[in-house]
Structure 1
């Protein structure tokens, strides 16, 4: 979480931290790519722009105000970080573990971005074929308003009781009888971005049919209240398909690279016996094909 303090609060913080002195006080005024210094630690234009992010102010005055707000936020953060270092909070085991985890996550992200940069963009013909091959996402796209009950996992026997039910009120009655907590809500399902298996199920449902699917530690009991056809076509559909194909291929490339790295390192990984994974089960043998008739 970022600290967003006002300029006055930053000055008060600086006064409270006895060793920090005034920001840049007594030092030579920063120039060029350095916008400020805090106890000798530089804040660069690059760091300031990163703090602002992708914001696009309407005019120079708004840009200046945005820069000042971002700069004061950086200064406050650096002051608190410097004070934490003086108190040796960066030397604790918990900090070291979190720092390592953060660094590893950043390295993984850098590797993923490198792999993604090497994945070629799909051709227009590939994107158009994808649109044509997935009518439920595009030409026949459906947007559905769904009434939903969310409940914790329950026994298969109880699931059997739901089969003849035709309304969510009846489902609520069964859950109430079993003293199971649940939440009633409404959501929107869009076949443009719904999982393909779920989309196939939805398209085959009779009107008003209740359908159930698990997700994580919960079960979702659903009934479609309203369904509309909203075709997604033209250039927007092609662009969406292009991005989707690129994302899928990037995920596949990352998975392949991970598999390669794991295979190359398998012999270098050692386990404490208590945490050693169970050996992989041998793959089932495929029965031999019958000999052709003479």
Structure 2
């Protein structure tokens, strides 16, 4: 009996020692899982709720969001979702994405800033973003992709948007008219150059999944970027491009050193 009593006391001591309390750096405990002041401050800095009139109200609102989140996570675990193949695969992918992001960020943050000459060259190579930036008003025809390649050839050869409409009508293809504005800064340099060389009123075709859009520029409004604003955008773009080049160069270097084995039928074609 004495041993039973001592064992009972031991279990009680262990249980009470493991029970977490909302004190110190722990601002709340949800089913014995802690929410720390660090978690709360991080969430508060990223997502201050609308309508909160002071810091105390904002902190209380964010804490409730964290508690709700914790409860949903606990329920998902109780349902065994954290053991499912879908979760494990997405968790692995998320970890890999985070590590890659940190690798690239460390490289970017420790690299020298692009020189003034690099920034100037970038601006010159992207006139649609900077000196020649424009807002275009487009008149458009949206239509399903033709099955007959001969129809596609006729559409491509059309010199006006009306000619495109005539080809579609003669081929029995239904289409709709539309209009929109587009900023030339969003276009890749090669596409911008191709469109800029078109004669006035000449359409350009943008094929997409299952349909295409024929467009013609009906108005141009100059919106050039220059000075400090242009330099800041160019600087960030050069840094982004340099980060992309770093990733590609590092992959090439690592592949050259790595031992990679493929199951038959999965290897890439030999170049």
Instruction: Tell me how far apart the structure 2 counterparts of residues 96 and 55 of structure 1 sit (CA, whole Å).
Output: 28
Evaluate the alpha carbon distance shift between residue 278 and residue 215 of structure 1 in structure 2; reply closer, same or farther with a 3 A threshold.
same
1:81-132 deviation per Cα after TM superposition (whole angstroms, max 9, x unaligned): 1122223222222322222222222222222222322332113343244334
Q: How does 1:26-65 map to 2 (within 5 A)?
A: 28-32=21-25, 34-54=26-46, 61-65=53-57
Written as runs of structure 1 = structure 2, the 5 A alignment for 1:265-280 is: 265=258, 268-280=259-271
Asked if 1:126 corresponds to 2:113, the answer is: no
Q: CA deviation at 1:50?
A: 3.2
Point out where structure 1 has 5 or more consecutive residues left out of the alignment.
Answer: 1-25, 281-294
- 1:157-236 to structure 2, matched below 5 A, reads 157-162=150-155, 163-167=157-161, 170-175=163-168, 178=171, 180=173, 184-215=177-208, 218-236=211-229
Give a deviation string over 1:33-75, Cα, whole Å, max 9, x none: x322212222123322333354578998343333222211111
TM-score, structure 2 as length reference: 0.78
Paired residues, what number? 251
CA contact (8 A) 2:49 2:61 kept: no
| 1:121-155 Cα shifts (integer Å, max 9, x gaps) | 11334324433454443222222112334445445
Query: How far apart, in 1, do the equivalents of 2:133 and 2:178 lie?
Result: 23
Aligned partners of 1:105 and 1:130: how far apart in 2? 28
Q: Report the equivalent of 1:82.
A: 74
Question: Which of 67, 70, 83 is 1:91 aligned to?
Answer: 83
- Cα deviation code 1:256-286 (max 9, x no counterpart): 1122222222xx2222213232222xxxxxx
**Structure 1-normalised TM-score?**
0.73
**Residue 255 of structure 1: CA displacement?**
1.3
Q: Give the distance between the partners of 1:62 and 1:179, measured in 2 at CA.
A: 64
Q: Structure 1: how far apart are the matches of 2:111 and 2:145?
A: 40
Gaps of 5+ in 2: 1-18
